[in-house]
Structure 1
Amino acid sequence: MKNIVLSIFLLSSIFCFAQSPQIEKVNINLLIDSAANKMLKKPLIHSTSIAIVYHGKEYIGHYGELQKGKNNCPNNETIYEIGSLSKTFAGTLAAKAVCENKLNVDDEIQKYLTEDYPNLKYGSQPILVKHLLSHTSGLPNMLPLEANTILQDFTNYETPAKINLLYNNYGQKDFLRDLHKVKIDTVPGYKYSYSSTGSELIAFILEKVYKTKYEKLLTEYLSTSMAMQNTKISLSDLEAKKLAVGYHSDNSIITYAMPQLPWGASGNMKSTIPDMVKYIKFQLKNNKIVAKSQKSIVKFDHEFSIGYFWNIATDDRKLGTYYLHHGGVPRSQCYIFIIPKYDLGAFIITNQSGAETSKVMEDALNEIFERIITEEKKG
């Protein structure tokens, strides 16, 4: 993590909600306040929600306005689009299937496909399940292939509308048809190439393994294992009214929600901040499913590995080995960090999505992490 000089101060009038202090070494609520209010001074950022779990205690803060001038601060009932964080849930379900001996990551994916896909290999080297989980399959980021061209110009005002039009009525049969058009140009298992196509295929495989629709499999597991009642792919009409509006790039007009993808495992999940706290707590537990999901599948260098869709920062000199993922859709971006060395986890989200959004969130979390580390070292 970058070495950031910390200057703690509280800007009043912007802070909307935070849990009452439950701290020992450092006031986490004040750290969240400081980081969030600095965020709101950045261009285009006018709301954020931040959750920290530290030594089992939870701290939540909501700040700003979802719509500028509307005085509608986000709260614990606000439902957010969490984008590609959805992949970590698919990875957790895959780890569960492995632990239950229902799935072998060394299986060829062809084993689970109902049609023959001779194109899903490089020479004699087939794509395996573990290649999907580690973004080393060689599959394109998105299907249909046209989506990748559109997303190359992500900040263009027309991009959200083009993506929505492309995915209008694009279902699972269309995805499996377009999978025949893919050409693998490298040996699977070695080259990192981010692939939402791969995470959609994991959902398909999990359906085959459990003989249950992916969304049902997901929501039942979250509900029973983590008490996450408000995290799902599809929303009811009542829930949809609580979905946060958001803004794309520097466009001041509210933009489209993320369109429905064939299975939704790569970027369609929605959640609340209290539910994301529960997810952090689950990921900090030392149980066999978490351990499996966080186990490195491919180590690219001494600093970076991939687990079951988790990005793994290996042996960071300050944070130790930690797990993270970024999520982004045309109108929101977020991060999750799981840092076992300090029994620490964090989730941050803002309802704006542009070229600089991720850095703004990284800076906010870095400030919080730096202070916690400093206090830990003091003992």
Structure 2
Amino acid sequence: MQTISMIVQNRRWFNYLVLSAALLATGCAGEHVAAKDLGADIDEVAATLIEQPLLHSTSIGVVYRGKEFIRHRGDMEAGKPSPPTDATLYEIGSLSKTLAGTLMAKAVLEHRLDLDDDVRIYLPGDYPNLQYKGDPIRIRHLLSHTSGLPNMLPDRANTVLEDFTDQRTPHELNAIYARYTKADFFRDLHAVKIRQAPGKNYAYSSTGTELAAHILEAVYKRDYESLLRGFFQDSAAISGLRIRLNEAEATRLAVGYHSDNAVPTTPMPQLPWGASGNVKATAPEMVKYLKFQLAGGPVVTESHHALVEFDSEFSIGYFWNIVSGDHLKGVYYAHHGGVPRSQSYIYIMPKYDLGIFVITNQSGDQTARAMETAINTLVERIAARENAAR
């Protein structure tokens, strides 16, 4: 859902983006391939990260030139010995969108659909409103956040999110989505007004991602969660991705805190498809996702293809933010995720064959900035190490 990204967005285009690594002194997940110096850097960066106000814990996965690191640090519940582990399920928020983009790239390569398809051909009923002066919303517009669709449906959720850090926000979101179904989504979609030609201006839209999930269901004749789990099991050996949890899985869901509330808050409410912000995963599963992204391959390459260029430094692919012109990082692909009790980042940096996933179990207006600082520090140290080795 990336609620927080709406606060830290816009021309930082991606300075918002819109988190790098950690070693636990008591219960680390383990270093799959030894790299002592980088492990020490990860440890130091993570320790500094959770010293920031309100941050309780972090889990971090790093893949660097084929070496894997998973680290957990801190306690998920304030005042209790409760470190996260490899079994902890996290709400990864709008990182979910990059998974949906990957499935869309697969569908394009398989000629199940075309990027220039009018989205209305996949919808039940007539939607004369999903166009502007004859220009329809196309699939590429959903993927690049240029459709003109609102961030959330129903519209009253957008009003709630205008003051994300208000302690009432999680409760109000829960009330809005308690019984919000796919039928409700389509009803509200009929009332949307497109006020400018699609494809021109960036306007972040979780609605667009939910609609993309419906389109995938329509072309594959399978429910979205089944598509998600099946593809990533087969292509990346990721077996534990979940949108909806059973009772046993729910006991492994990370505790989390919203803004400055000292009381743990409830999970992100279920959206109709869940593609925009409801995926849950463990740190080891996210490391496999980093490896999948770094390995390339036709689907990943297609998903990293820029669909719209906003300026010389910022483009969007299949929900991926693409940043150019950064001398340190090179061209990189990234996304932020935020729900009321968790924030996360994913960075894919081909220049260093480096992928970073970091998540905290607190979501406030300074969380993203703290994670960005941690990632920048880690990348600087990796760059310095590589320069020294030349």
Same fold (TM over 0.5): yes
> Conserved in 2, the CA contact under 8 Å of 1:47 and 1:351?
yes
Question: Once the 2 structures are TM-superposed, how far is the Cα of residue 18 of structure 1 from its aligned partner?
Answer: 4.7
How many residue pairs match? The answer is: 370
Matched, 1:153 2:156: no
Tell whether 2:116 aligns with 1:106.
yes
In structure 2, give the amino acid aligned to 1:230. G
Residue type of the alignment partner of 1:309: F
Cα distance, 1:15 vs structure 2: 5.3
Distance (Å, rounded) in 2 between the aligned partners of 1:286 and 1:357: 30
Tell me the CA shift for residue 174 of structure 1.
0.2
1:174 aligns to 2:160 (yes or no): no
Tell me if the contact between 1:28 and 1:59 (Cα under 8 Å) persists in the aligned partners.
no
1:129 aligns with one of 126, 139, 143: 139
Residue deviations 1:220-264 (CA, integer Å, cap 9, x gap): 111121111111101111111000010000000010100000000
* Most deviating of 238-247 and 28-37: 28-37
Structure 1: how far apart are the matches of 2:60 and 2:339? 18
The 10-residue stretch of structure 1 (13-22 or 53-62) with the greater mean CA deviation from structure 2: 13-22
Match of 1:149, SS state, is helix
Q: Tell me the residue number matched to 1:7.
A: none
AA paired with 1:368?
L
Matches of 2:360 and 2:275, distance apart in 1: 21
Which amino acid letter does the alignment assign opposite residue 62 of structure 1? H
Equivalent residue number for residue 42 of structure 1: 52
Q: Label 1:34 to 1:323 Cα distance change in 2 as closer, same or farther (>3 A).
A: same
Q: Which amino acid aligns with 2:238?
A: M
Distance 1:204 1:281 in 2: 28
Contact 1:90–1:203, Cα closer than 8 Å, also in 2: yes
Mapped partners of 1:131, 1:60: distance in 2: 36
Instruction: Give the secondary-structure state (helix, strand or coil) at the position aligned to 1:17.
Output: coil
Amino acid at match of 1:181: A
**1:185 and 2:195 equivalent?**
yes
The 3-state SS of whatever aligns with 1:59 is: strand
CA distance in 1, matches of 2:29, 2:137: 47
For residues 324-349 of structure 1, what are the alpha-carbon distances to aligned partners after superposition, in whole Å with 9 as ceiling and x for unaligned?
A: 00000000000000001110000000
Instruction: Give distance in 1, aligned partners of 2:207 and 2:29.
Output: 38
Match of 1:95 in 2: 105
Q: Unpaired segments of 5 or more residues in structure 2?
A: 1-13, 16-21
Match of 1:304 in 2: 314
Range with bigger deviation, 225-234 or 267-276: 225-234
1:19 correspondence with 2:27: no
- 1:138 has 2:176 as partner: no
Equivalent residues in 2 for 1:1-379 (5 A)?
16-20=27-31, 22=33, 27-378=37-388, 379=390
In the aligned structure 1, how far is the partner of 2:344 from the partner of 2:323? 18
Name the aligned partner's letter for residue 83 of structure 1. G
> Match of 2:213, SS?
helix
Sequence identity of aligned pairs in percent?
Answer: 54
8 Å CA contact 1:51, 1:61 repeated in 2: yes
CA gap 1:156/1:222 in 2 versus in 1, 3 angstroms: same
Deviation at 1:76, TM superposition (A): 0.3
Unpaired segments of 5 or more residues in structure 1?
3-9
Give the aligned residue type for 2:83.
C
Q: Distance in 2 between matches of 1:100 and 1:201?
A: 20
More off after superposition, 137-146 vs 108-117:
108-117
Map Cα deviations across residues 73-122 of structure 1 (whole Å, 9 max, x no partner): 00100000000000000000000001111110110001111111111111
Contact 1:15-1:33 at 8 Å conserved across structures: no
Q: Contact 1:66 / 1:351 at 8 angstroms: preserved in 2?
A: yes
Q: Report if aligned partners of 2:24, 2:43 keep a CA contact under 8 Å in 1.
A: no
Q: Cα RMSD (Å) of the superposition?
A: 1.6
Q: Is the 8 A contact 1:48 1:350 kept in 2?
A: yes
